[in-house]
Amino acid sequence: MNIKNPENRNCQNCRKNFTIEIEDFNFYEKIKVPAPTWCPECRQQRRYAWRNERTLYRRDCDLCGKSTVTIYSPNKDLIVYCLKCWWGDGWDASFYGRDFDFSRTFFEQYKELQSKVPRMALLSKNSINSDYTNHSGDNKNTYLSFCCFDTEDVFYSTWVMKSRNSMECSYIYDSGERLYQCIDSRKVYHCQYSFLLENCVDSLYCYDCHNCNNCFMSSNLRNKSYVFKNEQYSREGYLEKIKEYDLGSYETREKLRLEFLDLMLQNSIHRYAIMERNINSIGNQLYNSKNSKYCFDAEVLEDTKYLYASLQLKNSMDLYHIGWNTELAYEIHGSRGLYNSQFCHLCYDNQELQYCDSCQNCKSLFGCISVKKGNYMILNKKYEKVEYEALKGKIIEHMKSTGEYGEFFPPSIAPVCYNETQGNYYMPETRETILARGWTWEDQVLGTYGKETIKTEDIPDDIKNITDDFIFNILKCEDCNKNFNIIPNELNFYRREEVPIPHKCPECRYKMRFAIRLPRRLWHRKCMNEGCQNEFETPYAPERKEMVFCESCYNKKIY
């Protein structure tokens, strides 16, 4: 059945109106689910509320007893296994199987199952000496980094792919190396404090530069070398200008950081959105995609809508951190390799799953948790195919009558608390607001305070004056007052790259990078180039101060 007209609805969460388009209805009909009752933004917040990406704890494995790094605080009523035990053969998820009770709601029964079935401590695969990573794989010597793949010697970073010897970076693709405080960049080497670089080398404090080397405090450059504050110099002249700065000094670096922020905000041209090699698509940081609408931090998509941080998939809607050969997926978070699956969390390489969590290499599951290589199971109980299909149909009808079917897992039953999740960054709420909604809040997030052994003002200003024993100091973050320390490999990096000791903890440094990136939202605006009447959808809100140009005007100014 094809729906002929769009339909306006009222979000059952925020009470704002939203529109369901014709193509949306057609997709829901294809996968046989009802249309959503929450607006796109609230649906994304609901998925955010299930993603603890970077809040780590230690608790003992409930099978072997070994202390392990995990995303689940010790006070949570969960069974948590270290990765070796969870992937091992010493237990069977079907042992926890149970019958469905039609006198009760599905989510009530699902929450009870969650407290019984063992969960993975965190999501990490095929890594060496990289215990403090999550949603990551194929890493070596990577520390306190998240969503990182095929990295080596990477520290305090997020969404870094195929990179080496880098620290405090976010959204780095394709062979980054020797980077510090770089964001949204590709194929870059030995760069610092830069944003939107591509094919750049030996550049500092640069914004929106391509195919450049040896550039400093400059923006909107193409194919340039030895540019200092957007002025062309000879090689010798450029190097002399750089010598004017003691880059190992914290005081110097702070002044440069503020100057760089002003350069981006006041003295650069901003393209309306980062859209490369797309057809009939809108969003931001979107690459090589076709017929993809409202997609952010994504690439190689086709026929998709409302996707965030997703790679290589098609014919899907409402996904968050999904990728690699996925099709006909809807309302899913933190998964890969899915076919015809809906309402799932942390599931890898599966077909025909609904309402499943942490299931791997399975087919035809409904309401299951932590199943490996299973088929035809409901609430972790095994069935014959005919029994499975009949019972699944009855449960779906029951869930429709209770208003549950067609919606992602509610945050109220999430195994993590809202202030531990990405929701706390992208859509922050107060503790009182979250508890009033019936969601959960963690009051015992790890962190030490008042244990510092050195005052911030006593930290030597220049990295050249930091001695080897500095790693034994306990520091105090100048923003949140939390204690932190400098690990040996970190100190080696600072010395090699001439970077001073930071005065903020890793979490507050992440928040600084986070604040620079644009929101995952779009506003309708006009080009700000005088005389141009072009309009577009952009992640730059109307009240922002940046000079935002349409594609045509931007290209005329830059190239």
Measured between alpha carbons, how far is 336 from 347 in angstroms, rounded to an integer?
A: 7
pLDDT of residue 111: 97
Q: Has residue 487 been placed in a domain?
A: yes
Domain around 533: 523-558
- Burial class (CB within 10 angstroms; exposed 0-12, middle 13-18, buried 19+) of 438: exposed
- 3-state per-residue secondary structure call for 467-491: CHHHHHCCEECCCCCEEECCCHHHH
State which H helix or E strand residue 310 sits in.
strand 290-345
pLDDT of residue 84: 96
Return the CA Rg of the chain.
Answer: 25
Q: Does 368 share its domain with 280?
A: yes
Give 319-374 as a DSSP string: EEEEEEEEEEEEEEEEEEEEEEEEEEES-EEEEEEES-BS-BS-EEEES-BS-BS-
pLDDT of residue 2: 54
Q: Does 389 share its domain with 295?
A: yes
Q: Has residue 297 been placed in a domain?
A: yes
What's the pLDDT tens digit per position in 138-154?
A: 999 999 999 999 999 99
Domains of the chain: total: 3
pLDDT of residue 4: 60
Q: Does 282 share its domain with 366?
A: yes
The model's pTM is 0.94
Q: Has residue 48 been placed in a domain?
A: no
Q: Has residue 427 been placed in a domain?
A: no
Q: Does 396 share its domain with 332?
A: yes
Q: Has residue 234 been placed in a domain?
A: no
Place of tokens 């922020």: 261
Place of tokens 């994504």: 298
Q: Does 536 share its domain with 507?
A: no
Across the chain, which has 559 residues, the per-10-residue mean pLDDT values are: 76 96 96 97 97 97 97 96 96 98 98 97 94 96 96 97 96 92 97 98 98 98 98 98 97 98 96 97 97 97 97 97 94 96 97 98 98 98 98 98 97 97 97 97 92 97 98 97 97 98 97 96 97 97 97 94
Q: Has residue 216 been placed in a domain?
A: no
Q: Does 398 share its domain with 283?
A: yes
Q: Has residue 309 been placed in a domain?
A: yes
Q: Does 490 share its domain with 554?
A: no
Q: Does 349 share its domain with 403?
A: yes
pLDDT of residue 559: 79
